[in-house]
Structure 1
Amino acid sequence: MKHIDEQIEQLKKMTQTAKNVDLARALEVSPKTIQSWKTREKIPEDIFIKAKRVAETGAITPKGYIALQLFDIEVSAGHGALVEKEEESSAMVFSERYIRHELGFNPNDIFLMPIRGDSMSPTLKNQSIVMVNRVDGFSTDGVYVFRYDGQLMVKRLQFLPGGIKVVSDNTAYEAWELSKEDLKGTDFEIIGEVVWSGQRM
């Protein structure tokens, strides 16, 4: 048995689970995350800490709720933050019915990220948590998380005949444009559309 398989079995014993899907639920991650551990042959250290807490408290996501992935990288709502890693750090629990029926999205396509900066204020305040629906591209104007030239940003994107207009809701920041040529010649990728946000008052 590989070392990674032994570690997963150890996690199952700690959380008193038998299947990967049950382990994922206990640790508040997606089953795909467990598969990624096996592929990379590495499990983040905080997962063992979480498993120990589950073993001590019996804290498992209640039925009807789902733990959404929360990535520890901050998405910039200012001038952009360099992408260094996108490791999951923890999770937040939401009603599955709320996500599926109220918001209208598949929970498997949703993840959470913190943002920093004030360029999207008042829509998104500094240190807000945004819920992002993964998409391959975009067909309507809206607020999106995207990667541009090695930076991860959240901005309002608008279609133009010749490209995309990038708009900040804070009027202190000027809008800028990306032509179709710019989009083809640079590192540009739509990560997902912002569909919900949570923030302190």
Structure 2
Amino acid sequence: MYRRAEVVGCTGQEMQVDSHTMTQRENDKALDPVRRRLLQLLAANGSNLRTASLAMGRNAVYLHQFIKRGTPKVLGEDDREILAEHLGCRPDLLRHDRRIRRAAHAKPPPPSGPYSAPKGYSAVPEADLRRAAAAGDLEEANEAWLFCDPLVRCESRAKPGDLWMIPVDGDSMEPVLASGDRILIDVSRTVPVRPGIFVIWDGMGLVAKRIEHVPLSDPPKVVLKSLNPAYDSHECLAEEIRVVGRPSGSPEGYRVVGGSP
């Protein structure tokens, strides 16, 4: 909504432009520090949201959605490194303190409940796939898993705040992953630079698939593969999928908790 142009020597069009500039500044102030810093770095380097998104190997509106819509909520580690290289800055300048926020309706952890990890341990939340948001955002179930800190540091090769436990449903990734298994995923690893197993949002739900890039494809394409030969692989545009995270640790350690013996 624009103010009326009642200032002497100022036309209505000039007032509209000035009002729009003020509104934009107010909107920028409402952003968190990382998003404001990103806009400043883009301006300082003569870049823009579209150019930077494409430089990251993402679709053209990826960073626009990150800034304006809050999707994704935070940038993954691989995204930060690629974007920092484009902007000529340190990756940690694009890092949030928390990666994934708890769902707004989730109960706060009780003082001595499953989320209160004793000293030397880290609590890893389990995702409730039934309540997974439309964009693939993870929401916590009323459970958490305790892992000793040396195990997290040495075996998972991830920070505790980046880890989620994901239940497996279905047999498309057998024999590596079976229905009923649970896997640890690192939500900071969202760019499939190298082929491997990732948890993705395919538009209908969270699924685990092996992702491989199609060489020399333009626009970039990937192949989503199931390890079970009974399931077909399919090719799609890279921008059509959203990578939620990558199983943490070595392939042999993907399966954290088995299903039926």
Q: Which runs of 5+ in 2 are unaligned?
A: 1-96, 249-253
Q: Is the 8 A contact 2:136 2:244 kept in 1?
A: no
1:199 paired residue number? 258
Tell me which of 200, 215, 238 is aligned to 1:183: 238
What does residue 146 of structure 1 align with? Answer: 200
* 1:98 alignment counterpart: 151
- 3-state DSSP of counterpart to 1:116: coil
* Deviations 1:4-36 (CA, angstroms, capped at 9, x unpaired): xxxxxxxxxxxxxxxxxxxxxxxxxxx959x95
Q: CA deviation at 1:149?
A: 2.5
- Match of 2:110, as an amino acid? A
Distance in 2, matches of 1:103 and 1:86, equals 19
Q: How far did 1:99 drift?
A: 1.3
User: What is the aligned partner in structure 2 of residue 44 from structure 1?
Assistant: 106
Q: Structure 1's 60 and 139: CA in aligned 2 closer, same or farther, altered over 3 A?
A: same
Considering only CA atoms, is the larger Rg found in Structure 1 or Structure 2?
A: 2
- The CA deviation at 1:119 is 0.5
2: distance between equivalents of 1:91 and 1:155? 25
Deviation, 1:147, is 1.3
The answer (yes or no) to whether the contact 1:74–1:116 under 8 Å persists in 2 is no
SS of 1:145's equivalent? Answer: strand
Structure 1: which amino acid aligns with 2:238? L
- The aligned counterpart of 2:209 is 155
Over the matched positions of the two proteins, sequence identity in percent amounts to: 22
Residue equivalent to 2:120:
64
Structure 1 distance, partners of 2:110, 2:186, is 28
- Deviation (angstroms), 1:122: 1.0
Contact 2:196 2:210 in 1 (8 A): yes
Distance (whole Å) between structure 1 residues aligned to residue 155 and residue 210 of structure 2: 23
User: How far does the alpha carbon of each residue in 1:85-116 deviate from its partner, in whole angstroms, 9 at most, with x for none?
Assistant: 73211210111111112232111211111120
Q: Which runs of 5+ in 1 are unaligned?
A: 1-30, 76-81
For 2:106, give the aligned amino acid: P
1:124 aligns with 2:177: yes
Change (3 A) 1:44 1:60: closer
Q: Give the secondary-structure state (helix, strand or coil) at the position aligned to 1:101.
A: helix
CA 1:32–1:105 in structure 2 vs 1: closer, same or farther (change >3 Å)?
closer
Q: Aligned-pair distance for 1:199?
A: 1.2
Would you say 1:114 and 2:167 are equivalent positions?
A: yes
Give the Cα–Cα distance (whole angstroms) in 1 for the partners of residues 181 and 121 of structure 2: 22
Residues 167-200 of structure 1, C-alpha deviations (whole Å, 9 max, x = no match): 111111011111xxx334x3x2111111232213
Give the 4+ runs in structure 1 shifted more than 6 A.
Answer: 82-85
Maintained 8 Å contact 1:74/1:113: no
The residue identity in structure 1 corresponding to 2:169 is R
| Superposed displacement of residue 166, structure 1 | 0.9
TM-score, normalised with respect to structure 2:
0.50
TM-score (norm 1): 0.63
| Larger relative contact order (CA 8 Å, sep ≥ 6) | 1
Q: Which residue of 2 aligns with 1:10?
A: none
